[in-house]
Structure 1
Amino acid sequence: MQYTKVIFKLTPDNEINREILTAYLSELDFESFDESETSLNAFYPKEKVSTVDIQGILSNIPFEVSFQQEEMPDINWNEEWEKNYFKPLLIGQECLIRAPFHKEYPKAKYEIIIEPNMAFGTGNHETTSLMIEHISELNLDGQTVLDMGCGTGILGIFAAMRGCKEVTGIDIDSWAFESVVENCRLNKISNMEAMIGDASLLGQKKFDLIFANIQKNIILQDIEKYVSVLNEDGVLIVSGFYRDDLEDIIGKASELYLRKLTIKEKNNWIACSFEK
């Protein structure tokens, strides 16, 4: 697949502004981000994002941002990520995430094989590892799980490995559906179903555990729907937002009579769990 690279120059250029810009750009169909000393770079499959889309996002940014685009060569991205980015990742000393092409990696109780899609959803982002840390602390035996914004399916696959009864993964992108199907095959997971869509797909089916590693505005918009399909005493784990956003998330959860359980933080990113 051919990708387009967008190079963003920020003024002033600092870590906080790069994090803010990344959060805004995540609303579009970018599949990964990386950084250089002088820019923040974003990648998307050709024709998935338009210049108008980018300009619309940048109009909301409270600092100056310029950008330019360049077409990337149609190369084997697995090989590129193997050489440069996607390395075997051990989370919490018991969950290993690796790609099929990795030959050397540490042993772990749970080994998740992920076919990388521009390294999006490979566990390298702080929010994914925070979610996995939360999931590691729960008893999932016989539980029904909903993974909203499932991406590559990594969280649902981990839940299945830890004994849950069944998993439903929902994402708005077709590539996510394809990734979940492929990654379930690689990990011999037969009890996870992938669906293309958003929270409007939620109906009468109830869940014991819900993951939503998405983005603050989507969480605030859809959390009431999540709660409506969460069983009594069920657990909701949310991530994809910064510490400065935590008060808004907790406030909305409190309005819905959710009890805050645990907060985890890494590099200013937050994951928080609630009980109904």
Structure 2
Amino acid sequence: MIYLEFQFSIAPLQPASDIIIAELSEIGFESFVENESGLTAYISESKFDEGELNAIHILSSDEFAIEWTSKSVAQQNWNEEWEKSFNPIVVDERCMVRAPFHQKSNVDYDIIIEPKMSFGTGHHETTHMMLSHILDNDFKNKKVLDMGCGTGVLAILAEMRGATHLEAIDIDNWCYLNAIENADRNNCKKIEVFEGNSNLLLGKKYDIILANINRNILLEDIPIYASSLNSKGLLFLSGFYSSDLDMISEKCKAFNLRFEKNYEKNNWVAAKYVF
């Protein structure tokens, strides 16, 4: 079988890379390998429709610089190639996020995430920093929301840290299903996973909200997050650049969310706010 290999150059890389992978999956692309400058995507030549590719809005968005080339390749072992590029991450020497094929390490929190070709691993800077926030704060007996949960890794660590009731929400069906799988894989019993958006928060209250999404969605949903927090609740936000921190903090301030601290890694930010 003949496949088409597409090399995408993407700047800035996130959240564009995740969005592109999601959109390509919808039009028949079967496998992806992420790298420092973009990603490589594969589709069977018989399934490829150039019109569908050109209709993907983000590829022509002014917010990102995206270029691509393509060539024909013979079928290969996608999983083998992909596993070569997937590395475990260790956070603050206390938490490891790994795939089942990685050896277990002697850390306090060992999280197994089954990687999926169609959405990558999520092991970028924002994930690392949000995991650091979870490690640095008290989650014992807390009610926690993981908004835009993806693989569910943040909710999983929050349960390991003592949260007693957790909800994980993602608008994407694949993420919804994968979060359920990963929660079960890590023997988590207190995580409920829902498919949807911030409308699901109406009428609910949490002690802690984790939202690793992107700047525009965060700015839109901060009022909802504020109304969904208990008194002295904590809000952790990531998915935006250091240049966006003032804008995010001003929006939070308008809804009585006080900035407390932030981590920064390669111009990405994860910030903590107190209600």
Using a 3 Å threshold, how does the CA distance of structure 1 residues 4 and 167 change in structure 2: closer, same or farther?
farther
Among candidates 34, 39, 42, match of residue 41 of structure 1: 39
Identity of aligned residues (%): 39
Q: Contact between 1:203 and 1:229, CA under 8 Å: does it hold in 2?
A: yes
**Rounded Cα–Cα distance in structure 2 between residues aligned with 1:168 and 1:265:** 26
Q: 1:273 to 1:6 in 2, by over 3 A?
A: farther
Structure 2 residue aligned with 1:254: 253
SS of aligned partner of 2:139: coil
- Runs of 5+ in structure 2 lacking a partner? 26-31
Deviation sequence 1:130-187 (CA, Å, 0-9, x none): 0000111111111001011100100000000110011111111111121111111111
C-alpha distance in structure 2 between counterparts of 1:275 and 1:173, whole Å = 28
Equivalent residue, structure 1, for 2:82? 81
* AA at the equivalent of 1:225: I
Quick check: 2:11–2:65 contact (8 Å CA) kept in 1? no
Tell me the residue number matched to 1:130.
129
* 1:67 aligned onto 2:65: no
194-203 or 119-128: bigger deviation: 119-128
Mapping of residues 79-228 of structure 1, within 5 Å: 79-82=80-83, 84-102=84-102, 104-118=103-117, 120=119, 122=121, 124-228=123-227
Q: Using the TM superposition, name which of 26-35 and 236-245 deviates more.
A: 26-35
Amino acid aligned to 2:87: K
Distance in 2, Cα, partners of 1:163 & 1:240: 25
Aligned to 2:269: 270
Does residue 51 (structure 1) correspond to residue 53 (structure 2)? The answer is yes
**Shift of residue 245 of structure 1?**
1.1
Q: Give the whole-Å Cα distance in 2 for the aligned partners of 1:94 and 1:41.
A: 30
Find the residue that maps to 1:205 and give its secondary structure: coil
Q: Is the 1:121–1:128 contact (alpha carbons within 8 Å) kept by the matching residues of 2?
A: no
* Displacement of 1:111: 0.4
Say if 1:225 and 1:130 are closer, same or farther in 2 by CA, change over 3 A.
Answer: same
8 Å CA contact 1:21–1:61 kept in 2: the answer is no
Structure 1 residue 266: Cα displacement: 0.5
5+ long unaligned stretches in structure 1:
10-17
Deviation at 1:22, TM superposition (A): 3.8
Cα drift, residue 207 of structure 1: 0.5
Alpha-carbon spacing, 1:130–1:33, altered in 2? closer, same or farther (3 Å): farther
User: Taking structure 1 as reference, are residues 159 and 119 closer, same or farther at Cα in structure 2, changes over 3 Å only?
Assistant: farther
Q: Is this contact kept in 2: 1:34–1:42, CA < 8 A?
A: yes
